[in-house]
Amino acid sequence: MYLQECLQKKKTKTLEGKFPDLKNNFHRGCILWAVWVEICLPVQKKTMAYIKKDPAINLLLLLFITILFSCQESLYKATGKNEPEVLFLHVKSSRVMNSIDTATSTCDPAIWKHVYNPARLKVINNCITVSGVIKESHAESDGDQHLLLKPDVSQQILLKKKNIQKKDGCLVIEAVCINNITEAKVGNACKGYVNHVQIPKVGDHVKVTGSYVLDSHNGWAEIHPISKIVVQ
């Protein structure tokens, strides 16, 4: 209740008076106010007699809040975000990430030798398995098969902003050296390599195993290269 009122700017002056250092971080101040009013004050009221005898309780409560928001500040810096809900989103994201199979995923690291211009791909996770529906599939001039995978709801945390904006909420997944190469600059990247990955049809629900990377040229996330695709 207090948090909602605060966010509606009904307690701005009170906040600024009680926490003057939070003037430039209004939303964060709202959360601090809610913690103080909805948690700390009730505790104080129930134990007022004891608190009067031992003012150190007040200091301990304030220390707890300070530590809480110090941790949140570190999280802001680590994630590059500046929203008060980032702490709670981080916890939720961690739980969702547990649904993505990394423990039993098996990838062939030798495939990386045949990835054209691998420097553009920033590896986030060397090997994961993701499930979803194939929404698009076409051959690229560099010999790769370019597919779009709509991840299952439990795994959509893998999507980056550009995946949502440019790829309709899909992960880009690529099987390397599986088509004829018509792009001269690819050179000998595929020489001597035969990719046995079976390309699924559009509409198939699949499990894809491969490296989870960020395409630094385009800003979206990919499974690239693919080590295995299983149609379910």
Question: What is the tens place of the pLDDT at every residue in 64-94?
Answer: 767 766 655 555 555 444 444 333 334 344 4
Domain with CATH 2.40.50.140 in the chain: 109-231
Indicate if the pLDDT at residue 42 is higher than 90: no
The Cα-based distances of 35 to 3, 17, 87 in angstroms read: 9, 17, 14
In this predicted model, which residue has the larger pLDDT, 39 or 200?
Answer: 200
Q: How far apart are CA 98 and CA 166, in angstroms?
A: 26
Regarding beta strands 205-215 and 221-231, do their DSSP bridges make them parallel or antiparallel, or are they unpaired?
antiparallel
Q: How far apart are CA 74 and CA 90, in angstroms?
A: 12
* Among the listed residues 141, 189, 197, the one whose alpha carbon sits nearest the alpha carbon of residue 173: 197
Regarding beta strands 145-151 and 121-139, do their DSSP bridges make them parallel or antiparallel, or are they unpaired?
antiparallel
Q: What is the pLDDT of residue 173?
A: 98
Q: What integer is the mean pLDDT of 154-175?
A: 96
Which runs of E-coded beta strand occur in 95-220?
121-139, 145-151, 171-175, 205-215
Q: Could you read off the pLDDT of 102-137 as tens digits, one per residue?
A: 655 689 999 999 999 999 999 999 999 999 999 999
Q: What is the pLDDT of residue 152?
A: 97
Superfamily classification of domain 109-231: Nucleic acid-binding proteins (2.40.50.140)
